[in-house]
Chain A
Amino acid sequence: MSDKVKGTSTSDPVGTGAKADVGSRKKLSRRTLLKGAAAVAGAAAGSDAISGFPTIWAQEIKDIELRHVGVSYSVVKAIGDQAAKDLGFKVTMQNLDTSAAINRFISQPNTVDIADLEGWQAKLAAKRSVIQGIEVKKIKEFDNILPIFTKGEIDGHKIPRQGISPYEAMYIAKPDSADLNDGVTEWATFLPQVYNADSIGYRPDLVGHEVTEWKDLIDPKFKGKAAILDVPAIGIMDAALCFESAGLIKYGNKGNMTKEEIDFTCNKLIELKKQGQFRATWTTFDQSVQLMAAGEVVIQSMWSPAVAAVRVKEIPCVYAPVNVKNGKEGYRGWCNGMGLMKHLSGKKLDAAYEYLNWYLSGWQGGFVARYGYYSPVPSTAKKFLTPAEWAFWYEGQPAPEVVNDPYGVPMEKTGTKRDGGSFLDRVKNISCWNTLMDEAAYMNKRWNDFKVA
């Protein structure tokens, strides 16, 4: 779909049209190629996992089906297929958008087995008693999960708690507690599986200087050429980062604003909209890629794989390194984890634990690393990455050789460095986390004011 749209919108319709064709053909071979690669990797990963089970178990679990439900960037079919292959039971991946997902977890909990939750959704799901606590002891790699999640720190650096940090949402006191527990316990609400630090994507050729501050997004220079994310809960935080960066306001907690702070932020957004600052707002990954690739915008809040997708089209695009300075800037962090729904029991629950353990065993960590996301257990992911991939994605070093995306398409040339640098450079500069504010209803209303203004 996006190929087609792009084909006719660029300056060279014929050329790109042809390319799109090649692309779709390539996809076919890419898929087969992936299958082959997956089989090899699966054999490597699975050998130890499968041989561990007695045959009777293997017979019993054959009929089990786990439904893993969540957003498309976190719940990926290729990963589910691999898990099913390694574990011997059926795994179905189902995608919904953020708001449809949380609504389904809450209103139809029995139609989901593994809920893919963000920190704030884990808090809600616990509150609504639709999930059961995950027994930490049963997670083999739990001790190897980065302390970002398990202890709220990394490398001596305290993880900020503006918004709902994964650590904050991680624990409950008892398996059926409805309220989060501040501090480490034996029971987890969710098991982190994929996360990243979000910032701004921009066209270096059209912006003309290096962007390291959020305020460039609201710079009048880019009037009519900027875009912002239209998921109210997250979009308002991106806006807050901009306004704080421009020195217009200092928030108590960007992730949990007061009504006055919400009013200030939305009024300022309305003002900017009336001045024509925003060309558009976007809600899906594809839309952000499209906006950038078609030249509609030159700077916008963006997600890492979207930047990569623009670059694959040979359009220069940089993911701005917005390191924390003077108590401003910083990335907006997010983390998705897996929650066990309350109705799971018996063999199905055992299978779910196997599934969680499989997730942290490395294959998935390697897969998501290739589009710029991180694994909570990098030590296992490393085994599934080539030294060049590891150096590029995690260590922030110049790529020793060409780096491919998860489907084997060359993405980064030799010598390029990851925007923002190494894993530690990036995650230590996260200044706030995705959230649902206490004043969410009010915020939502004001956000709609912005939309209709």
Chain B
Amino acid sequence: MTRRCKRSDFEAFADMQPGPSSAPSLAQTTSRANLAGWLYVSPLVLVLVPFFVAPILVVLAASFFATDGFGGLTPGFTLASYVEVLHSALTLKLYLATIKFTLLTWVFTLIIGFFVAYFLVFHVRNQLLAIGLFLLCTVPFWTSNIIRMISWIPLLGKEGLINQALLATGVIRQPLEVLLFSDLAVVIAYVHQLTIFMIVPIFNSMARIDKKLIEAAIDAGASRFDIMRLIVVPMSKSGIALGTIFVVSIVMGDFFVVKVMSGGGSASVVSAFYEDVGVLQYPTAAASAVLLTLVLVAIVSLILRTVDIRQEITR
């Protein structure tokens, strides 16, 4: 968006240069265009400023305040909280743990999401059926994600269905403890919750691929693998990037799934600063929150740099 705006601004500016006589009418059109532009963005601005920008400024301010340790904040400017957060080995461990969950979740949601979308777009000939199946993917999301998560517990527990089945068939003698209250359980819950966020954008970008292109590739003798590698994947890039942004930001910002599914045995960046808030250490919690925001901004801009989503979408 920014790029296009800049270019048109520049063009308008350049147009204004040659003849001052034509300037008034041009200025009028630009101001009208500006007004329309502002009207377009105003709903978003009205939502984002009070519900996103303002709170984050408060958090930013709090991260520089000093505290008396009992929830009292002294307005001022100190970097003490940042020094503490950045100097702590705990921060590194928390980020490593969180990034581990993020990567695992991303890999599995991507693989599953990609192939589900691929199947729906290229293998289901009937469009009505494809849309029907697509909607079917969203059915689990009609219930709360907390319910979807805890439903895994009776399945994965020591006396859960999987362990009982394995014990009954004699595959194992002792119940498998790794199934629940483990990193595995956390990843399972995340993948279950977030795969839809991959399916939707990838489905969307795949659906735009012109089928004739693939027919032409087949006619030209391309193998299925080549079609996948040279056509489908590159042309689904924007969907993959969007899905990645959703999955990464949700996993990195979560603490509840980690807490419940790891049985409290694991922590995440967010769960740690939630505990800080619990003992009224607001500035350190705020500093950790700001740090996490910066990390996420960096990750998202990296993704956007790799894939020009805007260009892909308007293609």
The tally of residues in B whose CB lies under 8 Å from a CB in A reads 41
Known: A224-B177, A232-B278. A294 touches B158 (CB 8 A): yes
B61 is an interface residue with CB less than 8 A from chain A: no
A5 to B266, CA, bound (A): 22
Q: Which of A232, A290, A296, A436 contacts B275 (CB 8 A)?
A: A232
Q: Which B residues are in CB contact (< 8 Å) with A443? A: 279
Among A31-39, A98-106, A147-155, A187-195, the stretch that binds chain B is: A98-106
A303 is an interface residue with CB less than 8 A from chain B: no
Known: A273-B265, A452-B94. A294 touches B157 (CB 8 A): yes
Q: How far is the CB of B283 from chain A (nearest CB, A)?
A: 10
Known: A1-B150, A5-B153, A279-B263. A441 touches B284 (CB 8 A): yes
Q: How far is the CB of B150 from chain A (nearest CB, A)?
A: 6
Known: A9-B153, A106-B280. A448 touches B275 (CB 8 A): yes
Among B33-41, B67-75, B113-121, B231-239, the stretch that binds chain A is: B67-75
Contact between B150 and A294 (Cβ–Cβ < 8 Å)?
no
Q: Which B residues are in CB contact (< 8 Å) with A227? A: 263
Q: Which A residues are in CB contact (< 8 Å) with B106? A: none
Among B122-130, B159-167, B222-230, B304-312, the stretch that binds chain A is: B159-167
Contact between A8 and B161 (Cβ–Cβ < 8 Å)?
yes
Contact between B93 and A452 (Cβ–Cβ < 8 Å)?
yes
Known: A99-B277, A103-B277, A103-B280. A282 touches B94 (CB 8 A): no
Q: Which of B70, B90, B264 contacts A445 (CB 8 A)?
A: B90
Look across to chain A and name the residue whose beta carbon is closest to the beta carbon of B152: A5
Contact between A278 and B265 (Cβ–Cβ < 8 Å)?
yes
- Residue among B88, B158, B274 having the largest count of chain A Cβ atoms under 10 Å: B158
Contact between B266 and A9 (Cβ–Cβ < 8 Å)?
no
A residues 276-291 in Cβ contact with B at 8 Å = 278-283, 290
Q: Which of A1, A5, A230, A441 contacts B264 (CB 8 A)?
A: A230
For chain A, the bracket of interface size reads 35 or more
A290 to B263, CA, bound (A): 11
B105 is an interface residue with CB less than 8 A from chain A: no
B254 is an interface residue with CB less than 8 A from chain A: no
Look across to chain A and name the residue whose beta carbon is closest to the beta carbon of B177: A224
B97 is an interface residue with CB less than 8 A from chain A: yes
Look across to chain B and name the residue whose beta carbon is closest to the beta carbon of A278: B265
Look across to chain B and name the residue whose beta carbon is closest to the beta carbon of A444: B279
A388 is an interface residue with CB less than 8 A from chain B: no
Question: Per-residue CB proximity of B79-92 to A under 8 Å, as 1/0?
Answer: 00000000010100
Q: Which A residues are in CB contact (< 8 Å) with B90? A: 445, 448-449, 452
Look across to chain B and name the residue whose beta carbon is closest to the beta carbon of A10: B159
Q: Which B residues are in CB contact (< 8 Å) with A453? A: 93
Contact between A106 and B71 (Cβ–Cβ < 8 Å)?
yes
Q: Which A residues are in CB contact (< 8 Å) with B71? A: 102-103, 106-107, 124, 128
Contact between B278 and A99 (Cβ–Cβ < 8 Å)?
yes
A78 is an interface residue with CB less than 8 A from chain B: no
A272 to B263, CA, bound (A): 16
Q: Which B residues are in CB contact (< 8 Å) with A161? A: none
A387 is an interface residue with CB less than 8 A from chain B: no
Contact between B154 and A451 (Cβ–Cβ < 8 Å)?
no
Q: Which A residues are in CB contact (< 8 Å) with B154? A: 5-9, 294
A296 to B177, CA, bound (A): 9
Q: Which A residues are in CB contact (< 8 Å) with B72? A: 127-128
A11 to B160, CA, bound (A): 8
A440 is an interface residue with CB less than 8 A from chain B: yes
A408 is an interface residue with CB less than 8 A from chain B: no
B249 is an interface residue with CB less than 8 A from chain A: no
A295 to B160, CA, bound (A): 10
A363 is an interface residue with CB less than 8 A from chain B: no
Q: Which of B94, B158, B271 contacts A296 (CB 8 A)?
A: B158
B residues 261-314 in Cβ contact with A at 8 Å = 263-267, 271-272, 274-281, 284
A23 to B71, CA, bound (A): 44
Known: A127-B70, A452-B267. A444 touches B281 (CB 8 A): yes
A98 to B280, CA, bound (A): 12
Q: Which B residues are in CB contact (< 8 Å) with A224? A: 177
Look across to chain A and name the residue whose beta carbon is closest to the beta carbon of B96: A452
Known: A5-B150, A278-B265, A452-B267. A444 touches B275 (CB 8 A): yes
A166 to B147, CA, bound (A): 38
B65 is an interface residue with CB less than 8 A from chain A: no
Look across to chain B and name the residue whose beta carbon is closest to the beta carbon of A438: B69
Look across to chain A and name the residue whose beta carbon is closest to the beta carbon of B180: A296
Q: How far is the CB of A142 from chain B (nearest CB, A)?
A: 28
Contact between A11 and B259 (Cβ–Cβ < 8 Å)?
no
Contact between A283 and B158 (Cβ–Cβ < 8 Å)?
no
Q: Which of A99, A106, A440 contacts B69 (CB 8 A)?
A: A440
Known: A9-B154, A436-B279, A452-B97. A281 touches B161 (CB 8 A): no
Question: Per-residue CB proximity of A225-259 to B under 8 Å, as 1/0?
Answer: 00100101100000000000000000000000000
A367 is an interface residue with CB less than 8 A from chain B: no
Question: Per-residue CB proximity of A283-317 to B under 8 Å, as 1/0?
Answer: 10000001000111000000000000000000000
Known: A9-B159, A124-B70. A98 touches B278 (CB 8 A): yes
Q: Which B residues are in CB contact (< 8 Å) with A8? A: 154-155, 160-161
Contact between B70 and A128 (Cβ–Cβ < 8 Å)?
yes
A433 is an interface residue with CB less than 8 A from chain B: no
Contact between A124 and B280 (Cβ–Cβ < 8 Å)?
yes
B181 is an interface residue with CB less than 8 A from chain A: yes
Q: Which B residues are in CB contact (< 8 Å) with A283? A: 259, 264
By a beta-carbon cutoff of 8 Å, the part of chain A in contact with chain B is 1, 5-11, 98-99, 102-103, 106-107, 124, 127-128, 224, 227, 230, 232-233, 273, 278-283, 290, 294-296, 436, 438, 440-441, 443-445, 447-449, 451-453
A selection of 21 A-B contacts at a CB cut-off of 8 Å is A1-B150, A5-B151, A8-B154, A9-B157, A103-B280, A127-B70, A128-B71, A227-B263, A279-B181, A281-B264, A294-B154, A294-B157, A436-B279, A438-B69, A443-B279, A444-B278, A445-B90, A448-B94, A448-B267, A448-B275, A451-B265
